[in-house]
Amino acid sequence: MFAILRTQGKQYMVKKGDMLVLPYMEGDIDTNVTFDEVLLLGDDKKFTLGKPTIKGATVHATIKVQGKGEKIHVRRYKSKVRYRKHIGFRATITTLEITDIVKA
């Protein structure tokens, strides 16, 4: 079974046991998180589409990692004036493990 859920303005397709990397969410490691905005539920034969969400359907997950993502390099350059600038940035991320998908 798979589900499409919406969180933090983005949509993700998940299955039980998947690891999902999201922008930072509040919570400690091994804390359970529940997502109520399930847009679609499906399996091999049929699927259920929400209008806009499926009432009563939830996706349960556990926070596994609170850390930083890959480094993003930002470089600025202006020709003829010897201006060069380099900035590095690492966004904080949350890694979740999907534990269960519950139908309505």
pLDDT at 104: 74
Q: How far is CA 66 from CA 22, 23, 41, 60, in A?
A: 10, 10, 28, 17
Q: Is the dihedral of CA 2, 7, 12, 16 positive or negative?
A: negative
- Span 74-88, average pLDDT: 97
- Span 70-89, average pLDDT: 96
pLDDT at 63: 97
Bridge partners, residue 35, by sequence: 59
Range of the domain at 55: 2-102
Q: Is 92 left (phi over 0), alpha (psi -120 to 50) or beta?
A: beta
pLDDT tens column, 7-65: 999 999 999 999 999 999 999 999 999 999 999 999 889 999 999 999 999 999 999 99
Residues 1/15, Cβ–Cβ less than 8 Å: yes
What's the pTM? Answer: 0.84
